[in-house]
Amino acid sequence: MTEQVINNLLAAFLAVTAVGMVRLRGLFAVAMLMGIYSLVSAALFVVLDAVDVAFTEAAVGAGISTVLMLATLGLTTRDEKPPKRTPILPLLVVVATGAALVYGTLDMPRFGDPEAPIHHHVAPRYIHVSPSEIGIPNMVTSVLASYRGYDTLGEVVVVFTAGVGVLILLGGRAGKPKAGQTGRREKEQ
């Protein structure tokens, strides 16, 4: 019962944080709220016993993403421009996507249901076979490092590629002079 209360409180805090991000016009405050949102998401993953996902969310969501947002704010303005009119198309796209996602979850088993299919086929195999098949006593490590090894490698490659892309984008602007200006080397000569 206590775990359900914690889940509900964290989910409510996520909703309040999301509404705050949408309502604010100060981009610095929005970047900070995004970091808080990711940190609360990581806490929710810990409560749901998905510690590996929580580590990734804390490192990428609360850590790297917040730093990149703040670095981007250093290159731009701190305030969002007021919209000329309220755009309705993005709202419709978000509502349609949300409705499709909710519809896709209607036939899923209830949260924590011991009769869910995963508890009868996949989980028992991992519990009974992975120590002898893989040789690693920790089930989470054996699943992530062996059974889902290619998936984990793909996730690492995607995160690394995104990081390199952001660094190239941020670093590419620093050395180029703006129109009408000469570069630093030309001035020194």
First to last CA, the chain: 73
Residues 1 and 75 in one domain: yes
Distance CA(155)–CA(109), nearest Å, equals 27
pLDDT tens-digit series, residues 24-51: 888 888 889 999 999 999 999 888 877 7
- Quickly state the pLDDT bin for 178 (edges 50, 70, 90): low
Q: How many domains does the chain have?
A: 2
2 Cβ neighbours under 8 A, 6+ residues apart: none
Question: In sequence order, what are the beta bridge partners of 79?
Answer: 26
pLDDT reported for residue 180:
56
Residues 118 and 79: their CA atoms lie apart, in Å, by 48
145 is in which domain, residue-wise?
127-175
Question: Looking at the domain assignment, is residue 45 inside a domain?
Answer: yes
Q: Are 147 and 126 in contact (CB under 8 A)?
A: yes
Residue-level pLDDT at 102: 94
Does 63 reside within a domain?
Answer: yes
pTM, rounded to two decimals = 0.57
- Residues 131 and 75 reside in one and the same domain: no
Q: Is residue 121 part of a domain?
A: no
Q: Are 74 and 131 within one domain?
A: no
pLDDT at 175: 53
Output phi, psi for 135, to 5 deg: 90, 10
Question: Residue 16: its pLDDT value, please?
Answer: 94
